[in-house]
Amino acid sequence: MAKFVILTRLTTHGRQNVLHGRDLLPDIAEELRAVDGRIVEQYALLGTLDYLTVVDVPVPLDAFRLSVGDRGAEGLVREIYPAMDLPLFVRLISQTTETVGPHRWQITLPARAVRSVLQWRYYGTMVRKYCKPLEIRGGEHLADLRGPAIFIGNHTSHMDSMVMLYSIPRHYRTRLFFGGAADRWFLKGRKGIKKQGWWSSLLGSFPVHRSGGSAGLDYPKWLIDQGLSIGIFPEGTRSGSGKMGKFRHGVSILALDKDVPVVPMYFAGLAAIRPKGSRELTPAPAVAMIGPPIRFSAGTTVPEATHALRRAVDELHDQYKGIPPVPRIVPADDVASAAGG
Q: For 104-338, which CATH superfamily applies?
A: Glycerol-3-phosphate (1)-acyltransferase (3.40.1130.10)
Residue range 271-326, pLDDT digits in tens: 999 877 677 899 999 999 999 999 999 999 999 999 999 999 999 999 998 876 65
Same fold, 2-91 and 104-338: no
Least confident span in 5-14, 222-231, 236-245, 308-317: 236-245
Bigger pLDDT: 286 or 24?
286
Residues 232, 244: contact at Cβ < 8 Å? no
pLDDT higher than 80, residue 37: no
Lowest pLDDT segment from 24-28, 49-53, 182-186, 224-228: 24-28
Q: What's the mean pLDDT in 260-273?
A: 95
Q: What are phi and psi of 11, to 5 degrees?
A: -85, 175
User: What's the burial of 289, exposed, middle or buried (CB within 10 Å: 0-12/13-18/19+)?
Assistant: buried
Give the SS3 label for residue 248: coil
Would you state the pLDDT for residue 235?
86
Confidence of residue 12 (pLDDT cuts 50, 70, 90): confident
Top-tier CATH class for 2-91: alpha beta
- What's CA 339's distance to the chain center, in Å? 25
Task: Give the span between the Cα atoms of 81 and 59, in whole angstroms.
Answer: 13
Q: Is the peptide bond before 102 cis (omega within 30 degrees of 0)?
A: yes
Residues facing 82 on adjacent strands: 4
Indicate yes or no: pTM above 0.85: no
What pLDDT, on a 0 to 100 scale, did the predictor assign at position 165?
94
| 250 or 184, which is more confident | 250
Domain boundaries of the chain, sorted by first residue: 2-91, 104-338
Mean pLDDT for the chain overall: 83
What percentage of the chain has pLDDT greater than the value 90?
48
Residues 6+ apart with CB under 8 A from 265: 151, 152, 153, 154, 164, 167, 288, 289, 290, 291, 313, 316
Q: Which of the residue ranges 36-50, 115-129, 249-263, 271-285 has the most confident prediction, judged by mean pLDDT?
A: 249-263
Q: What pLDDT was estimated at residue 270? A: 92
Q: How far apart (Å, rounded) are the C-alpha atoms in residues 336 and 252?
A: 11
